């Protein structure tokens, strides 16, 4: 019997077919209508059923999943040593709403909530297990939006410069010393500061950001240190400052190079004595706060022009992290685009799968003076305008679109398309189907592009060819 027919007959084993039960056809219809992923396994751990929602969440088709072990499909953090389904089968106990992470066909980590139960035939004999799993990406995005919290995983990069930065973060986080993060505007300084906080022993405490350039000089002292009742006209009751709010946690001083000189002296005292005085206060207040500072200015130059204290610079510069601009890590653009689109899909319940090659070419030609923040804003702008499934050039902000793109110079559309397809192939370990799916094109279109662009694909023996 052909293998495809075997797969189909095994899809819903022991399904009721008459009387007061469901027929196999109705059983299938019910499973396909469920928004949660559902799959069943036999006693050997082999998948025997895989519904449509499971296909959509994992990016794995039913034909690809059935007949394989569930651990090879889901690659969860519990698969090897703490499999929930195996526990249910062996102990006759269900697992309910367990939070785990699985990996989809593109090796993207997905948070899910799983529940398990025994799978029995009509005689009551246990023939395997059934698991439902709910995609929690939207919940995770909304949670982060509410809490404004970030994790180490939110920093997306494959550039060597950023890898070196990321490798140092756990070591720096383990210390309680001050940190100075430098880099152009929009390179992700606050994201790195949040990662340091999240990786540190202070992670259970508050993370309090302050934009030194965004608060008027006359208000900055009260904003940082707070004030006592009667400290000035209108101060009818005491108000705690950012230092008090950050107690036991981390205070992020963004654009510290803009801090007025008289406040630089007070900040230096806090760093040296771990104490400060609120406005109108008569005694110092002890402070247990870690300072992480950031700037897009050249502080050495500011010191030369008497705009920044040299002693404060030495005090905050115990650890320095320099973030590279986006134009020096252009290989990250496709990764960042995918990251932003995935997050926006979860937030806005849309199904944008990627960018057209024309739109991608425009983004690759742009020099990104606003760095990652500007790219994120551009993708959000295009995402809103695009009806789907692809973002096209017309959806991008007009400021990004050049009058024309050179056609016979390095960096032509073909060059960029070839480079982009190769990067996506590499992300998917040269899996053709996964690459076509991520590109948002049909498999035959993918191979047509491969032949046209002269891309060499490795075969099973490691040799390269331009076709499958």
10-residue stretch averages of pLDDT, the chain, 468 residues long: 32 39 60 82 91 91 92 84 84 82 86 88 86 84 58 74 88 92 93 92 92 81 80 65 93 93 92 88 87 94 94 94 89 85 84 82 87 94 88 90 52 63 77 75 80 78 47
How many angstroms separate the Cα of 194 from the Cα of each of 149, 174, 180, 188? 8, 14, 13, 10
Q: Which of 424, 418, 429 is nearest to 454 (CA)?
A: 418
pLDDT in the model for residue 82: 76
Q: Which residues pair with 457 in a beta bridge?
A: 465
Question: Contact, 112 vs 133, CB < 8 A?
Answer: yes
pLDDT in the model for residue 7: 30
In this structure, what token pair is assigned to residue 421?
């397809």
DSSP for residue 432: H
pLDDT in the model for residue 417: 67
Q: Which residues pair with 453 in a beta bridge?
A: none
Cβ neighbours of residue 333 closer than 8 Å, sequence gap 6 or more: 326, 363, 364, 375
pLDDT in the model for residue 353: 78
Domains 146-324 and 328-465 share a fold: no
User: How far apart are alpha carbons 146 and 211 in whole angstroms?
Assistant: 20
Domain 328-465 has CATH 3.40.50.1110: no
**How is domain 3-135 classified at the CATH fold level?**
Beta-Lactamase (3.30.450)
pLDDT in the model for residue 438: 64
Question: Contact, 329 vs 161, CB < 8 A?
Answer: yes
User: How far apart are alpha carbons 455 and 464 in whole angstroms?
Assistant: 9
Task: Name the residue ranges covered by the structural domains of the chain.
Answer: 3-135, 146-324, 328-465
- What burial class does residue 13 get, using C-beta atoms within 10 Å of its C-beta: 0-12 exposed, 13-18 middle, 19+ buried? middle
Question: Is pTM beyond 0.95 here?
Answer: no
The string of pLDDT tens digits covering residues 422-456 is 777 877 788 888 887 766 567 887 888 888 888 88
CATH class entry, domain 146-324: alpha beta
């Amino acid at each position: 019997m052909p293998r495809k027919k075997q797969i189909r007959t095994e899809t819903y084993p022991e399904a009721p077919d008459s009387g007061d039960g469901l027929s196999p056809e109705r059983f299938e219809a019910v499973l396909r209508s469920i928004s949660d992923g559902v799959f069943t396994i036999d006693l050997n751990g082999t998948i025997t059923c895989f519904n449509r929602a499971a296909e959509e969440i994992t990016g794995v088709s039913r034909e690809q999943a059935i007949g394989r072990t569930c651990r090879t499909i889901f690659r969860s953090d519990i698969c090897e040593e703490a499999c929930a389904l195996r526990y249910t089968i062996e102990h006759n106990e269900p697992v309910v709403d367990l939070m785990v992470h699985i990996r989809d066909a593109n090796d993207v980590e997905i948070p899910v909530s799983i529940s398990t139960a025994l799978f029995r035939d009509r005689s009551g004999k246990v023939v395997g297990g059934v698991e439902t799993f709910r995609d929690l990406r939207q919940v995770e995005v909304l949670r982060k939006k509410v809490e404004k919290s970030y994790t180490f995983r939110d920093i997306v990069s494959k550039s060597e410069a950023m890898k070196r930065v990321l490798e140092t973060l756990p070591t720096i986080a383990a210390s309680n010393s001050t940190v100075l993060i430098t880099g152009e505007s929009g390179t992700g300084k606050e994201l790195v500061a949040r990662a340091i906080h999240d990786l540190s022993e202070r992670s259970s405490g508050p993370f309090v950001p302050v934009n030194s350039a965004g608060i008027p000089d006359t208000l900055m002292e009260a904003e940082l240190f707070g004030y006592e009742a009667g400290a000035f006209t209108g101060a009818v009751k005491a108000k705690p400052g950012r230092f008090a709010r950050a107690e036991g946690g981390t205070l992020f001083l963004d654009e510290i190079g803009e801090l007025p000189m008289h406040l630089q002296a007070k900040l230096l005292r806090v760093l040296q004595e771990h104490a400060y005085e609120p406005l109108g206060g008569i005694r110092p207040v002890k402070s247990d706060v870690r300072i992480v500072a950031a700037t897009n200015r050249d502080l050495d130059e500011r010191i030369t022009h008497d705009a920044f204290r040299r002693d404060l610079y030495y005090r905050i510069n115990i650890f320095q992290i320099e973030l590279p601009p986006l134009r020096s890590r252009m290989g990250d653009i496709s990764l960042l685009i995918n990251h932003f689109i995935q997050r926006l899909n979860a937030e806005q319940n849309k199904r944008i799968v990627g960018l057209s090659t024309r739109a991608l070419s425009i983004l690759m030609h742009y020099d990104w003076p606003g760095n990652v923040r500007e790219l994120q804003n551009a993708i959000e702008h295009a995402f809103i305008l695009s009806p789907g499934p692809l973002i096209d050039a017309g959806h991008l902000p007009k400021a990004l679109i050049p009058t024309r793109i050179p056609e016979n110079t390095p960096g032509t559309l073909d060059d960029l398309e070839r480079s982009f397809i190769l990067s996506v192939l590499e992300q998917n370990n040269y899996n053709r189907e996964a690459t076509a799916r991520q590109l948002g094109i049909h498999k035959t279109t993918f191979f047509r592009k491969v032949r046209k662009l002269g891309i060499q694909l490795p075969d099973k023996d490691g040799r390269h060819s331009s076709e499958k």
